[in-house]
Structure 1
Amino acid sequence: MAAFAMRFVVVLLTFVTVGMIIGALMQLEFIKKLDDSYGAKFSLTRLRGLRGGAYWGDQEDVMLRIGYVKPEVINWSPRIILFHNFLSAEGVKSKVRTSSGMFLSSRDRKYPIIQGIEKRISVYSQIPVENGERIQVLRYEKNQLYRPHHDYFSDPFNLKFGGQRVATMLMYLSDGVEGGETYFPKAGSGQCSCGGRTVTGLCVKPIKGSAVLFWSMGLDGQSDPRSLHGGCEVLSGEKWSATKWMRQNATS
């Protein structure tokens, strides 16, 4: 009886693992198809068509720039993807908001640059734009940090506004930062540098224009405690970032 139970557990775990891998591979294949289909029609001339706040050529191409974004899977459980060149120079240098710790308003979301960024996030996360919360811009100065936490909710009140948080896109807006890594203590068993300290887990260095997408909800539809993450201490410079949380349903 014990041997049968053990075999059942092994089979069940194998089935769950294979399902997670297949789901992740399907998601990556979708992104690859987008990259291939859109990237072929983008030209450098068209991508440089944004001049003085006006769009030249195809506005959709300029807003998405899918062919230039390169995804890199850095962890499977929890699912974490690092996007190189996610934001262009135009997307990073925005006069919409210059203060730290602020959410973009409904008026801010009407700017073409913000609309372009939100649409790009939707494409790569496969979550509709209307399911996203307002982007939050944050500034971390020297010695500041954000202790490990989960982005999903455990109280019923916050679930009324779009349901549970499914995924988070964290975008890095500044260079010249020492420390300030995004730290996932339950992702993997390797070691990495977090604010000058060697820790166990996975650390993502903040590089201007890159972004990290991670899921707070697993493929089983349940909140994933392994999505625990935090912001490591900034040792020098200023770390600017923008965060977009996405939910199960429309937020408004």
Structure 2
Amino acid sequence: MASPPPLLLLAVLLLSSAGAGGSEGGVRFDASRAADISWHPRAFLYEGFLSEVECDHLVALAKRAGMEKSTVVDGKSGLSVPSEARTSSGMFLAKKQDEIVTRIEERIAAWTMFPIENGEPMQILRYGQGEKYEPHFDYIHGRPYSAPGGHRVATVLMYLSNVKMGGETVFPDSEAKLSQPKDETWSDCAEQGFAVKPVKGNALLFFSLHPNATFDRNSLHGSCPVIEGEKWSATKWIHVKSFDNRRRIAAKCEDEHALCPKWAAQGECAKNPGYMVGSSVTPGYCRKSCNVCTTDKPINGM
């Protein structure tokens, strides 16, 4: 009998974990709890994907590290740049930053059936009153995709807090918007498409590419303005190929984020080394600004 695929084995191990999820504050992974909510785009909602302990832990990590104004990826240069279309604040965690982050990453891999290495580091976001992210695509249209990992194929959006009013994730072009009833508890923004309310612990998985790897134009989505309360979320972008196996040549040492110099000046190289500096396994994104490009050999032996 052939051995099960690694990700299937991971899912089985998560399902068979003792107690609520094999460790304190965790949840048991059960793929049958993910309901399909849209087929154009393909989207699935998993209620209770994260425990309250896990949600609070991710928020605490972000507050401890400090938040910066969110940016968007420029389609031509591939750089992250400020934009009035996105008014939240955020920060990135390191992969496998601690036991809880590692457990969540494993659960995401089991649900999506994509290896952990295909995912970007998890981004924690905070939306205050009136803050939003206007409708956009997660694939980067127009950018030559020899970039790390190729296109983003899927997004897992995890809600870390409840929001009294607003803050919905809206898909303006989803065919499901025609059949979704809404009452006075939905914001005007949510009325413009198929929407998902932010509920603490729930997770939304949607795909930006069709199964044939072409762009899914129906995957246009945005974060509605927060009207009352505060919205915290965690985003995991997943690529079609490994995002970790990136070629790093010391002679071409460059920052991979436009805000690296600012973050370095604020001491993030020491406070958030997993993202800024990286390790021997996963190089960081701000090696130039952190002055760690000292070797004359390629990183990871490449």
C-alpha contact 2:119 2:242 (8 A) present in aligned 1: yes
The residue number in structure 2 matching 1:103 is: 91
Residue identity in the other structure for 1:80: A
Residues 16-71 of structure 1 show CA distances to partners (whole Å, capped at 9, x for unaligned) of: xxxxxxxxxxxxxx99xx58x854x4553x647428xxxxxxxxxx5x62149721
Aligned-partner Cα distance in 2 for 1:145–1:156: 25
CA 1:158–1:195 in structure 2 vs 1: closer, same or farther (change >3 Å)? farther
Secondary structure of 1:160 counterpart: coil
Candidates 199, 205, 212, aligned match of 2:197? 205
C-alpha contact 1:143 1:233 (8 A) present in aligned 2: yes
Aligned-partner Cα distance in 2 for 1:198–1:97: 27
Residue identity in the other structure for 2:104: I
The residue number in structure 1 matching 2:162 is: 175
The residue number in structure 1 matching 2:24 is: 50
C-alpha contact 1:69 1:84 (8 A) present in aligned 2: no
CA 1:219–1:49 in structure 2 vs 1: closer, same or farther (change >3 Å)? closer
Aligned-partner Cα distance in 2 for 1:120–1:157: 31
- Larger strand proportion of the pair: 1
Deviation, structure 1 residue 197: 4.6
Residue identity in the other structure for 2:41: P
Secondary structure of 1:66 counterpart: coil
Where do 5+ consecutive residues of structure 2 fail to align? Answer: 1-6, 68-88, 245-302
The residue number in structure 1 matching 2:71 is: none
Deviation, structure 1 residue 157: 4.9
- Larger helix proportion of the pair: 1
Candidates 135, 144, 150, aligned match of 1:163? 150
Matched, 1:124 2:116: no
Secondary structure of 2:61 counterpart: coil
Aligned-partner Cα distance in 2 for 1:155–1:68: 34
Residue identity in the other structure for 1:96: L
Q: What TM-score comes out, normalization by structure 2 length?
A: 0.62
Residues 157-185 of structure 1 show CA distances to partners (whole Å, capped at 9, x for unaligned) of: 56411100000000000124311000001
CA 1:147–1:159 in structure 2 vs 1: closer, same or farther (change >3 Å)? farther
Q: How many residues align?
A: 207
The residue number in structure 2 matching 1:139 is: 126
Secondary structure of 1:143 counterpart: coil
CA 1:184–1:198 in structure 2 vs 1: closer, same or farther (change >3 Å)? closer
Aligned-partner Cα distance in 2 for 1:248–1:176: 32
Where do 5+ consecutive residues of structure 1 fail to align? Answer: 1-29, 52-61
